[in-house]
Homo-oligomer: A and B are copies of this chain.
Amino acid sequence: MRQLTHQLSVKTHGRRLYDITPEVLGWAQKSGMTTGMLTLYIQHTSASLLINENYDSDVLVDMEAFFARLVPDGDPLFIHTVEGPDDMPAHVRSALTQTSLSIPFVDGKPALGQWQGIFLYEHRTSPYSRRVLLHLMGE
């Protein structure tokens, strides 16, 4: 049993879902491992991780439309407004989605379902550079 770690840097330019599946698969498949556990961890509280459908891009549009309505920017409910009207909503959206994802590694690759992609969900409207840690343990 052995383990590998890697830091992925993802440049975002506005609020939406970013498909990071190619970067994750590329790194994981170079590991030479056959079976194990792949964990993704995002080191932020205003961007998150999500397994989502990767086929019809309308799904990504609708997902964002839903969260924008559920957690509106500039909601007068919020008192933490110093970092802008999209900051506290970004923390709430992150709480409602994922900071970590665990994906079994089988037959030399992450065992994603046929229509599953791995997404970084940027919740802020300004550009950011986001760090996602990848950890693979197995053999």
Taking beta carbons and an 8 Å cutoff, which residues of A are in contact with B?
A: 1-3, 5, 35-37, 39, 41-46, 50-53, 56, 58-59, 61-63, 65-66, 69-71, 77-80, 82, 88, 91-92, 94-104, 106, 111-116, 131, 133, 135, 137-139
Contact = CB atoms under 8 A, between A and B. Distances in A.
B65 A77 contact: yes
Nearest to A46: B53
Contacts of A106: 5, 133
Contacts of A91: 52-53, 59, 62-63
A43 B116 contact: yes
Contacts of A95: 50, 52, 63, 96-97
Give the copy number: 3
Contact of A111 (B41, B78, B116): B41
A80 B55 CA distance: 11
A80 B66 CA distance: 12
A126 to B, nearest CB: 16
